[in-house]
Amino acid sequence: MITGGFGKIAKHFVQSFNHKYEITVADIVTNNETFSDNVQIEKADLMDFSACLKLCAGIDTVIHLAGIVDPVSESDEILETNIKTTQNIFKAAVASKCKRVIFASSAQTIESYPTDIQVNKNMLVKPKNIYGVSKCFGEALAAYHAYNNGLPSICLRIGAYEFPRDFTKMNARDLSAFLHPDDFNQLLIGCIETKDIQHEVLNAISNNRYKRLDITESKEKVGYAPKADAFELFELETD
C-alpha cells in the first residue's frame, strides 16, 4: 500500500511495477487519472486514524510517501500534518501486523551541514527547516516502533527527485543530491524484497560524480545499484 499514491514518486513506481505486486494507492485527492485495473485506489484522509486502520488491513508492506513537501515555509501545518499522518500510519501498521513500513524521509534532515561535507547516516540529524524537522520525527518514530513494537522499517532520505525531462536549473547542491526516478524505483524494490531488516536509515540519491549523501550502506543493505550521474546526464562542466 502506497500513501500519497497520486504523487509523482508513487505514480512512477506503480506504473512500472503494478504487474509485479498487488498494489493499493491511497491519497486524499484521487483525481481523474487512472492506473491499470489491478491497482486498487482508496481515497483517504490520513489525519483520521480509522481511515489508516482500514488502509493497512491485510497489507504486507506500507510505503508512506504522503505529507506536505515544503522546505521553504515555516507553517505550523507542516508539523501538524506530517507528524499526525505519520503517527497514524505507523500505529495502524502495528495494529494490522504489517511486515514493514518504508518511510519517505528527506535529505532535508541534514541540510544544516555545510554543502562541502558528505553526510552519512551515522551523523546526527541537522535539519534546516520545519519540513526537515517533521522528517526527523518520522525517522525517530520508525525506530521506536521497530525496536519496541516489532514493526520493521526503512527510512529513505530522498534527495532531489527529478525526471530529466523536467530539468530546468539545478545548483551544485541539487546536482550532488540528484535522484533519478528509475534509480529510486530500484531502491524501493530492494527495500521491499530484502529480508531480515529491523530498522535502517538509508540515503537515496543517484550515482552522482559528487555525492551530498553517502550511499555506501544503501548499496550494502538492500543492493542499491544507481546508474544515473547528474553531472553527466545534464552535461555540466566541473572543475
Helix, strand, coil percent values for the chain (each to nearest 5): 40, 15, 45
Count, residues in the chain = 239
Determine, yes or no, domain membership for 100: yes
Cell of 70: 515544503
Cell of 159: 534527495
Domain span holding position 177: 2-233
CATH of the domain at 17: 3.40.50.720
Determine, yes or no, domain membership for 14: yes
Three-state SS at 106: strand
Instruction: Report how many domains make up the chain.
Output: 1
Nearest to 191 by CA among 229, 153, 225: 153
Residues 109, 201: Cα–Cα separation, whole Å: 11
* pLDDT value of residue 236: 60
Determine, yes or no, domain membership for 153: yes
* pLDDT value of residue 55: 98
* pLDDT value of residue 172: 82
**Bridge partners for 119 per DSSP:** 213
Determine, yes or no, domain membership for 109: yes
Q: Where are the beta strands (DSSP E) in the chain?
A: 2-3, 23-27, 39-43, 61-64, 100-106, 153-158, 160-161, 178-179, 199-204
Q: Tell the residue number behind the cell numbers 498487488, with chain if given.
A: 22
**Bridge partners for 26 per DSSP:** 3, 42
* Per-residue pLDDT of the chain in tens (239 residues, 90 and over written 9): 999 999 999 999 999 998 899 999 999 988 767 788 889 999 999 999 999 999 999 999 999 999 999 999 989 999 999 999 999 999 999 999 999 999 999 999 999 999 999 999 899 999 999 999 999 999 999 999 999 999 999 999 999 999 998 876 778 888 999 999 999 999 999 999 999 999 999 999 999 999 999 999 999 999 999 999 999 998 665 54
Cβ atoms of 46 and 62 closer than 8 Å: no
Determine, yes or no, domain membership for 220: yes
Determine, yes or no, domain membership for 239: no
Residues 119, 129: Cα–Cα separation, whole Å: 17
Determine, yes or no, domain membership for 7: yes
Cβ atoms of 115 and 173 closer than 8 Å: yes
Cell of 58: 491485510
Determine, yes or no, domain membership for 238: no
